[in-house]
Amino acid sequence: MGLAVIAVALGLPASWAVAKFSASFLYGVRPHDPMTFAAVPLFLATIAFLACWVPARRATSVDPQAALRRE
């Protein structure tokens, strides 16, 4: 989850700076659309949280002695 936070922290300013250059590729969206700059990082952070939480939740349900015996 820490890597996702770092990526969002570095990606937001970078995407804000590059938005002017990509304005010709966007159709119907302003280059500095606040809704897009709010929704996309929130969506990516949610996906990263679920990608971290689901395996961690599954790992906490395993009996440690049983897991060590299989090794």
The predicted pLDDT at position 48 comes to 94
The predicted pLDDT at position 22 comes to 79
Instruction: State the pTM of this model.
Output: 0.70
The first and second tokens of residue 45, run together, are 């952070």
The predicted pLDDT at position 52 comes to 93
What is the residue-averaged pLDDT of the chain? 87
Helix (H, G, I), strand (E, B) or coil at 71: coil
The first and second tokens of residue 57, run together, are 């939740």
The predicted pLDDT at position 71 comes to 66
Average pLDDT score over residue span 27-41 = 83
Average pLDDT score over residue span 14-20 = 87
- As a whole number of angstroms, the distance between CA 29 and CA 35 comes to 10
DSSP secondary-structure letter at 61? T
Range of the domain at 43: 2-22+31-70
Q: How many domains does the chain have?
A: 1
